[in-house]
Each structure stands twice: as C-alpha cells, then as structure tokens.
C-alpha cells in the first residue's frame, strides 16, 4: 500500500551532520508513493551529495534561486505552489532564524515564504544552540504561525555533548508528515466565504459608528481554511492586515456592503464562516455634509442592519454555516441561543472584556453544534483557527455523509 500516493512533498535539507539521515527520510517517503522534490541549501551539499538524493527521488535536486535551466522547467513560485507540505529536516538554528524573520535569501527560505503549504521542521543542532533564548524565541514565533515542530530528540550529540538537539528519527518525521497530509487538503475544491473585521456605519462623511474588532481571528481562519485546500473568499471590513497567501479578498466598509459582497460570492459556496463583528445598527441617514456642533446634544436615529449570517443560513442553496458569538457573560447559553435562532451548523463563542477577545493575539473558544461541544484553550489566534477549522471539517464531512446516505 502507498498511503502517500502522488502527494507532493518538498523536502528541504540544511547544513547539519544529520543531513545524511534526510536520505533515509526521502527513501521512506518515496516508498510511500510520495513525489519528493529535494531543495538543499548550498552548505547542506557539504554534508550529503545531491546525486544520492536525486537517485532516491528520481528528481534533480534544486539548490539555487538563480538556476536558469531549473527555473525554466519549474520556477520557484510554481514550486512553492506545487508543494502540499514543506518539510525541513534537518533544520539548523540559522534556518529557523531566517524562517522566523521571513527573510528570503536562498531558494529554500524563498519557497517557504512564497508557499501556503503547511511547514514541518525537524531541528538539529548543538544542545546549547537549541537552548539559546534566540532559538527558543524563533521557535515561539514559528509555532505561533502554525509551523509544526518535530523533535529535537534528547541524547548524545555528534559534538560529544548530551542534551536536546538531535534530529528526530526519519521514521518519526515520516509519521508526522502522514498525519499532516491526512489532515490537510480536506477542503480541496470547496469554496468557502469568510467575513472578518468590523464594519463602519457612516454618520456623516468623516464620522462613523464602528467597533474594536481587529479582524485577526477572521484572517487566521481564512489562512487555516486555505491550508486545508479550500478556495477562500475573504470579505473584510476596514482592518490593517495584509492579505494571507492564496486568498481572494474583497474589502468593504459597511454592513450593507458586506451583505452585498457575501451574496455576490455565495453561489456555489460550500461553507460560510461569519467572523465579522457586523454592526447591528446603522444611522438611519448619513448626513451629506459634516455635522457641526451647533447643539448641546446630538441624537442619531439608528436602524437595524441586515443579519448577514441569518440570511445566508435561510437562503435556498444554504452552505454549512458557522457563526461567532462574542459575549461578556453567560457565554454558553447565549451562544446556544444564537446557534438555534440563526439556524447554524456550528458556533464559536468567546468571552470578551476590555483585555480579552478584541485587538489581542491570543484567544480561547467554546465551539458548539447540535449535540456536541468542544473547548479550545487559550492560545494564539492562528493555532486556534487551525483547530477550529479541523472541527469545521469534521462536522462538515459528517453532515455531507448523512445527506449522501
Ligand atoms: N452577524 C452577521 N450580520 C449581522 C450581525 C451579526 O452576519 N448583522 C454574524 C456575526 O458575524 C457573528 C454572529 O452573527 O457570526 C454574531 O451574532 P449576533 O447576534 O450579531 O451577535 P451579537 O452582535 O453579539 O448579538 P447581541 O448583540 O444580540 O449579543
């Protein structure tokens, strides 16, 4: 049996004694049926010959950004898109630092930056280098972005030291690649719409009613959906966030604009995730000119905005609908109420306060669906989003299976 048949693995090899073990890893992956493309750093070629890896994988090894012949066959951006997973084994302290900083000064780091594929790193270095706060800080940054770490193992090192820093064994790395590839790609070919950020409801040409949503959670959810192979349209309110790779972004201002953008994108969508903090009300009339402070008080009449999520959930070709609920108290009760009232398939609830929920990097969620629930503990929004998307995939698949039977 070949469990990884035709799965596309980009194997990065950097300069360490453990580089010789990468040949065994490549062999195991090829045996599992994977298409393996090796990319080596220049210094890695001092530790293991490119010819060995070419013979094992049946593909020429790439080691340069500026190789006209290789670039003509498959350019580095194409190669970045080709990869379903990028594995770096061994990953040196220097490579981890480059990845954390987002520098792109050789082919491997450029590919990592240009790819939306999940990244798995197997660090290998001297135990003091591993324990150094600089390396640990880099690992923290990478984990926060969703990079998966395997190892390092503890034991005797090539330099004679004892401690953590040995590269994890190829069989273990292969297991981690299996897990990742089995989980990822579950939404290949599925269209997903995500709303994110706040909306702005105009009072006059210079003032608006808004809220404190940063859009971080919605953007993290959109990235996690792309990592599962989904074709994602992100409808974003006004936020200061860059567009994650592989996403179609539509920028909007008001709830009405967001409503229109969602309904334009809706035909054919399999899943709708409403992360946006949509203003429930808007000024009945936006003044055409700037309002002057002529009186002691100002009364702005507010009217209800369309409830985008409820309308999508009630639409004829209804996608799988996921809502968010931000509550200051009685989180579970209010969230269950919204699950029922809006006819949702799933709701992700979080407690908000002055210091939690909005404008911060970490969060925790209570995810509810009919007949079940799961708590996702406090962690970075990118990790949380990846876990939430795993739950969405599970429930979506369970529902599709019931509908098909
Ligand atoms: N939502 C929406 N359109 C709106 C309002 C909310 O799509 N006009 C979506 C949000 O994106 C979120 C969920 O509905 O997924 C939140 O539900 P909502 O009832 O609006 O929550 P709150 O505004 O917190 O409600 P309340 O003020 O009643 O607690």
Q: What is the pLDDT of residues 201-211, one digit of tens each?
A: 999 999 999 99
266 and 121 belong to one structural domain: no
Residue 264 lies in a domain: yes
pLDDT for the residue 383: 82
Q: Whose CA is nearest to atom 4 of ligand 1?
A: 307
Q: What Å distances lie between residue 175 and 62, 75, 223, 249, 389, CA to CA?
A: 25, 30, 24, 35, 22
> Which numbered atom of ligand 1 lies nearest the CA of 347?
15
Is the shortest distance between the CB of 326 and ligand 1 below 6 Å?
yes
Q: Among the listed ranges 82-91, 166-175, 203-212, 359-368, which one has the minimum average pLDDT value?
A: 359-368
pLDDT score at 357? 60
pLDDT at 356 over 80: no
206 plus 97 within the same structural domain: no
Which domain covers residue 258, as residue numbers? Answer: 191-404
Please tell me the residue having the least CA distance from ligand 1 atom 27. Answer: 280
- Which element (helix H / strand E) includes 369? strand 362-369
Q: Is residue 2 part of a domain?
A: no
Same domain for 25 and 161 = yes
Check which CATH number belongs to the domain holding 319 and give it: 3.40.50.10300
The answer on pLDDT for 341 being more than 90 is: yes
232 located within any domain: yes
Task: Indicate whether 204 and 180 sit together in one domain.
Answer: no
Same structural domain, 215 and 148: no
Whether residues 211 and 124 fall in one domain: no
Contact 357 CB / ligand 1 (< 6 Å): no
Residues with active-site annotation: 159
Shared domain for 213 and 71, answered yes or no, is no
Q: Please tell me whether residues 23 and 166 are part of one structural domain.
A: yes
Query: Are 12 and 128 in the same domain?
Result: yes
- Comparing C-alpha atoms, which of 225, 10, 20, 223 is closest to residue 112? 10
- Domain end (from 132, 164, 184): 184
Give the span between the Cα atoms of 364 and 350, in whole angstroms: 6
How far apart CA 320 and CA 300 sit, in angstroms, is 37
Ligand 1 in reach of 324 Cβ (< 6 A)? yes
Q: Does 38 contact ligand 1 (Cβ within 6 A)?
A: no
Supply the pTM of this predicted model.
0.69
**CATH classification at residue 114:** 3.40.50.1950
Residues 300 and 340 occupy one common structural domain:
yes
Last residue of a domain, one of 184, 201, 226: 184
- Note the pLDDT tens digit of each residue in 67-92: 888 888 788 888 998 998 999 999 99
Give residue 304 CA to ligand 1 midpoint distance, Å: 12
Identify whether 240 is part of a domain. yes
Return the half-sphere exposure (C-beta side, CA atoms, 13 A cut-off) of residue 86: 28
Residue 3 within any structural domain of the chain: no
Q: Is the CB–ligand 1 distance for residue 276 below 6 Å? A: yes
Could you give the number of structural domains in the chain? 2
Rounded Cα distance, 165 and 158, in Å: 10
Both 140 and 164 in one domain: the answer is: yes
**358 has pLDDT over 70:** no
Dihedral, 276, 279, 280, 281 alpha carbons, nearest 10: -160
**Does the pLDDT value for residue 218 go beyond 80?**
yes
CA of 5 to the centre of ligand 1 (A): 44
Q: Let me know whether 221 and 164 are in one domain.
A: no
Q: How confident is the model at residue 246 (pLDDT cuts 50, 70, 90)?
A: confident
- How many angstroms separate the alpha carbon of residue 355 from the centre of ligand 1? 20
Mutate to test the pocket of ligand 1, among 325, 333, 340 (most ligand atoms within 8 A of CB): 325
Minimum mean pLDDT range among 80-84, 148-152, 331-335, 357-361? 357-361
Domain presence at residue 45: yes
The residue from 167, 184, 201 where one domain ends is: 184
1 lies in some domain: no
Ligand 1 within 6 A of CB of 255:
yes
């Amino acid at each position: 049996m070949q469990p990884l048949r035709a799965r596309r693995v980009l194997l990065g090899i950097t300069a360490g004694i453990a580089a010789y073990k990468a040949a065994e890893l490549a062999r195991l992956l090829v045996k599992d049926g994977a298409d393996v493309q090796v990319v080596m750093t220049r210094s890695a070629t001092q530790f293991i010959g490119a010819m060995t890896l070419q013979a094992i994988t049946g593909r020429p090894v790439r080691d340069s950004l500026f190789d006209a012949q290789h670039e003509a066959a498959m350019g580095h951006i194409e190669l970045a898109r080709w990869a379903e997973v990028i594995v770096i084994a061994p990953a040196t302290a220097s490579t981890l630092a480059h990845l954390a900083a987002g520098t792109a000064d050789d082919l491997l780091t450029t590919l990592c930056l240009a790819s939306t594929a999940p990244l798995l790193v197997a660090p290998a270095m001297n135990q003091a280098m591993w324990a150094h706060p600089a390396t640990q800080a880099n690992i923290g940054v990478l984990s926060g972005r969703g990079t998966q770490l395997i190892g390092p193992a503890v034991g005797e090192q090539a330099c004679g030291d004892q401690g953590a820093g040995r590269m994890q064994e190829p069989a273990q790395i292969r297991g981690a690649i299996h897990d990742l590839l089995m989980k990822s790609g579950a939404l290949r070919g599925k269209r997903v719409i995500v709303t994110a950020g706040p909306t702005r409801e105009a009072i006059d040409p210079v003032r608006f009613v808004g809220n404190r949503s940063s859009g971080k959670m919605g953007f993290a959810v959109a990235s996690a959906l792309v990592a599962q192979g989904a074709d994602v349209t992100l409808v974003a309110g006004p936020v200061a966030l860059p567009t994650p790779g592989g996403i179609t972004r539509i920028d909007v201002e008001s709830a009405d604009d967001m409503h229109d953008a969602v309904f334009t994108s809706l035909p054919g969508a399999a899943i709708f995730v409403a992360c946006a903090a949509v203003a429930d009300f808007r000024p009945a009339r936006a003044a055409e000119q700037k309002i002057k402070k002529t009186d002691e008080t100002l009364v702005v009449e507010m009217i209800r905005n369309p409830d985008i999520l409820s309308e999508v959930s009630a639409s004829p070709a209804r996608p799988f609908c996921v809502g968010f609920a931000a509550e200051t108290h009685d989180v579970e009760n209010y969230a269950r109420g919204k699950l029922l009232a809006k006819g949702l398939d799933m709701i992700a609830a979080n407690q908000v306060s002055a210091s939690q929920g909005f404008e911060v990097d970490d969060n925790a969620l209570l995810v509810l669906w009919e007949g079940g629930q799961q708590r996702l503990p406090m962690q970075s929004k990118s990790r949380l989003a990846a876990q939430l998307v795993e739950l969405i995939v599970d429930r979506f698949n369970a529902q599709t299976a019931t509908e098909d039977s």
